[in-house]
Amino acid sequence: MGSLARKMRRKRSQKFAKQFTKQLKKQMKMMGSMSSECLACKRPFDKESKEHAENWKVVVRKKTEQTNLYCPKCWDTAMEMIKEVEDSNDHRIREEEQVGEDPDESKSI
């Protein structure tokens, strides 16, 4: 009985190992297709650098399994641009609200 349990366990772990290897191979393939430079400024990504590994951003497009790499500087710039767009949208909405609230004031300008 003991040996049967062991056999079953081994079978299960073999299956797991097979799945794991498959997953790993897929990941390796993805890493292989990963660009090694910043998509925006072409700064090279240093795979050996811990700092790069921690700070660089990888954006994976699931549809194409394409990975885009951004250095922290370009990522920050992109984030700021998004924020600016959001802020300006916000601002416009606020202005529209003001005009709606007090139409007399906008007439006097």
Q: Is 69 a binder of Zn ion (CB under 5 A)?
A: no
Q: Is 30 a binder of Zn ion (CB under 5 A)?
A: no
**Sign of the torsion angle spanned by Cα atoms 89, 94, 97, 98:** negative
Whether 72 and 57 have beta carbons less than 8 Å apart is answered as yes
CB-based contacts of 55-61 (< 8 A; 24+ apart in sequence): 58/34, 60/30
d(CA 99, CA 80): 28
Kindly state the smallest distance separating residue 73's Cβ from Zn ion, in Å: 5
The span of 14-22, 38-46, 55-63, 98-106 binding Zn ion (CB under 5 A) equals 38-46
The span of 1-9, 10-18, 29-37, 39-47 binding Zn ion (CB under 5 A) equals 39-47
Q: Is 41 a binder of Zn ion (CB under 5 A)?
A: yes
Contacting positions for Zn ion (CB under 5 A): 38, 40-41, 43, 71, 74
